[in-house]
Structure 1
């Protein structure tokens, strides 16, 4: 009998000139641990006339995690942050009570040449008692993340705790995000290594789990203690997401996440009235969408 709770297929959509594949939220699975939103950006080729330009938009009640494999993104926000995101580094922005930001291809890559871009844009919901905490920003260079080799595969602990290690990224609830790259076939062990719910995102290659062959572009969802033996096939690239789920549900509208609908309505009004925390020296503005995604 399969212990896989669900296999979610990546659904593609366009955001401007950038193609993304949404993994969660999914109609039958809104969250994996505290992770409430996972978008796969690319892979795509940008330049010389097509770039990533996400105008000023708001967030509440969550932390954003940006993790790139290829390309670069310039992050600016209403806290005054200006940070270039490079492959392997982690941008962790905690919105809390409210923050606005933009994400753009940096000027250094707008040079008439073409380049590859790929990565993940992730939202982690905040615990109920911290949903209205002060916003903050934290950047962790790639070389500061824990890295090790296990069963011949290369592991990186991007955020949270797992495999007896802890990432320096400042998370606010028990969670994990682990990147795994393997050129050879190996058996992946998660029981006793991680805790809570788990999503195994297959960015490249494939796995065999509970009698199922699962290819890239899918995410396998389970509970860590219920997960069966997992064979990772040669030439695979995985991301493991998850952690302890919250006791309460989360509501989501556009870029707003909260345990209470009233907080989302308040944020919507502030954004529509432009009384939300806004960036200096950036007059761009993404209006509220007409309906929920």
Structure 2
């Protein structure tokens, strides 16, 4: 591929009753712009006794972006937020100096209701000077997300800026995340519309780039300034994400992200000592993983 840097396959893993595909970090590409972690959740059938439940766990130095394509989740965190998320909406949690949260299947969907859960859990690293800001939470409804059509394609600007539009998600760096669907073949123009590194996650269908075909379950990494022509094949759904990379390296350990290895060690000790703030009324605790040698 002449000017595409890398094609990353989705690596599947099972977390209890939920199948998750990891896209980044990847050994050859740790970040795309400020995006440092992307998990593809599902699609999985949620039914009685099999739920999406992530117990209380911590974060520092990043913002989490939860985006559901199908199904719903209930978010609770240590700053008192309790927010249900439905398809097309965005939950944006700024961890900053430290926050804990849970994500679970809502109570009213835990009986005999059967539905599909499908979405993305994304981490965006904070700029170095903002890594220790106070935690925040923002929910943006589907109706607030900028949406438009171009020929036979539908665009949704989930976060950041691109194509002359700005999402209401309060991001802290130059980035973009765009949801694009096309029922027919569609030539995607990127030059002049987006800035920085770009990742193209193929949710459904396939794309053609630089005479190569890339199928669903893969992610293509490129540079917007020299991206070759990209064509979405019929019935294709992609997510574009990326932005300007930070000048400093980012380190990641478990759920912690920082430009400082020392801060990661401090966060690990605090979590082991149960010194992080807690989600009100929740006594669950996910232990710090023990390194394997």
TM-score by length of 2: 0.98
Residue segments in structure 2 that go unaligned for 5+ positions in a row: none
Question: 2:4 aligns to what SS in structure 1?
Answer: coil
Residue 52 of structure 2 is matched in structure 1 by: 52
Equivalent residue, structure 2, for 1:85? 85
Q: Distance in 1 between matches of 2:283 and 2:213?
A: 48
- Computed over aligned residues only, the root mean square deviation of the Cα atoms, in angstroms, reads 0.8
Q: Distance in 2 between matches of 1:59 and 1:16?
A: 21
Query: Is 1:287 matched up with 2:290?
Result: no
Distance 2:59 2:79 in 1: 13
Counterpart CA distance in 2 for 1:96 and 1:244 is 20
Q: Distance in 2 between matches of 1:128 and 1:89?
A: 28
Measure, in 2, the Cα distance between the counterparts of 1:129 and 1:15. Answer: 34
Q: Scaled by the length of structure 1, what TM-score is found?
A: 0.98
Matches of 1:113 and 1:161 in 2, distance apart?
37
Q: Which residue does the alignment assign to 1:247?
A: 247
Question: Paired residues, what number?
Answer: 292
- Encode CA deviations 1:52-93: one digit per residue, 9 max, x unaligned: 110000000000000001110000000000000100000000
Which residue in 2 is equivalent to 1:198?
198
d(CA) in 1 for partners of 2:29, 2:127: 19
The residue aligned with 1:11 is 11
Distance (Å, rounded) in 2 between the aligned partners of 1:98 and 1:19: 27
Given that 1:151 and 1:187 are in contact with CA atoms closer than 8 Å, whether structure 2 keeps it comes out as no
Partner residue in 1 for 2:180: 180
Instruction: Please name the residue that 2:141 is paired with.
Output: 141
The answer for the alignment partner of 2:126 in structure 1 is 126
Post-superposition offset of 1:17: 1.3
SS state of the match for residue 14, structure 1? strand
State the distance in 1 between where 2:167 and 2:173 align. 13
Alpha-carbon distance between aligned partners in 2 of 1:14 and 1:81, rounded to the nearest angstrom: 28
Separation of aligned partners in 1, 2:123 and 2:16: 20
- Tell whether 2:43 aligns with 1:43: yes
Q: State the Cα distance separating 1:151 from its structure 2 match.
A: 2.7
Partners of 1:177 and 1:146 lie apart in 2 by 12
Gap regions ≥5 residues in structure 1:
none
Question: Structure 1 stretch 56-65 or stretch 283-292: which is displaced more?
Answer: 283-292
Q: Where does structure 1 differ by over 6 angstroms across 4 or more consecutive aligned residues? A: none
Deviation of 1:113 after TM superposition, in Å, equals 2.5
- Please name the residue that 2:30 is paired with: 30
Corresponding position of 1:151 = 151
Q: Secondary structure at the match of 1:5?
A: strand
Give the drift of 1:279: 1.5
Shift in Å at residue 291 of structure 1?
2.3
Q: Distance in 2 between matches of 1:141 and 1:175?
A: 20
**C-alpha distance after superposition, 1:236-267 (max 9, x if no partner):** 00000100000011000000000000001000
Deviation of 1:111 (Å)? 1.9
Residue 152 of structure 1 and its aligned partner are, at CA, apart by: 1.5
